[in-house]
Structure 1
């Protein structure tokens, strides 16, 4: 479980990395810059694991390779943005977030399942339980 400090720092990194990708270094990516789905920070705030989403950017492996090749420039641009707010600029480790693709795969698998709906027969079906009568709270209350 992450501490409040880690969560705040991860939120700061998420916002500033998104700004770096969109404003400072858009020339590094062909097409759209990657989206950042999650940032996880180590307890000492020295290492940040950034999960990139490649839904709109195209090929995931090509995107991850481009980001990893330019990780030094990305870290320097991030340092310019957050240098007055933090003591140590974290080491950035990038991963490809495939949770959306996994969800689509599971949705397709569940969609192909054929589960027959069995209706209970009239003879074997138990009678529906009836609600107990409501007690009268006042003497002049009608039913």
Structure 2
């Protein structure tokens, strides 16, 4: 269970990371929408898992590769934004959030009128 402190830090990091991605989206990955869907912080506040949602989904691998390659620069940009709120910036690990794709697949299956298992 997340503590109140973890939730506050996760919210702060999510907001600032989303702003960083929004500011650099046009130059780093044009024509791609990248949103920070969720941020989870470890209890010791040393590790941060960042879940990214990418549209269109076929560009998700290139965005994830960019995040892994540019991880130190992204962490430094985040440190500049939160330097007055946090003393230590957690290590950032990026994960692809495919929940929107999963939801769209379920919606497509239901709309196609296949066999309804709920009757």
TM bin, normalised by shorter chain, reads 0.7 to 0.9
Match of 2:107 in 1: 107
Alignment of 1:95 onto 2:98:
no
Q: How does 1:8-87 map to 2 (within 5 A)?
A: 8-23=8-23, 25-26=24-25, 27-32=27-32, 34-56=34-56, 59-87=59-87
Deviations 1:57-78 (A, max 9, x none): 7511111111111111100000
Query: Where has structure 1 moved over 3 Å in runs of 4 or more?
Result: none
Structure 1 length-normalised TM: 0.72
Instruction: Answer with 1 or 2: which has the greater Rg.
Output: 1
TM-score, normalised by the number of residues in structure 2 = 0.86
Asked if the contact 2:32/2:55 (under 8 Å) is kept, the reply is no
Structure with more relative contact order (C-alpha pairs < 8 Å, separation 6 or more): 2
* Contact kept? 1:31, 1:57, Cα under 8 Å: no
Give a deviation string over 1:19-74, Cα, whole Å, max 9, x none. 11122x34322334511100000001111100000025751111111111111110
Q: Distance in 1 between matches of 2:22 and 2:104?
A: 27
In 2, distance between residues paired with 1:72 and 1:30? 21
Q: What 5-or-longer segments of structure 1 have no aligned partner?
A: 119-143
CA RMSD of aligned residues (A): 1.9
Q: Distance in 2 between matches of 1:60 and 1:78?
A: 22
Distance (whole Å) between structure 1 residues aligned to residue 14 and residue 37 of structure 2: 8
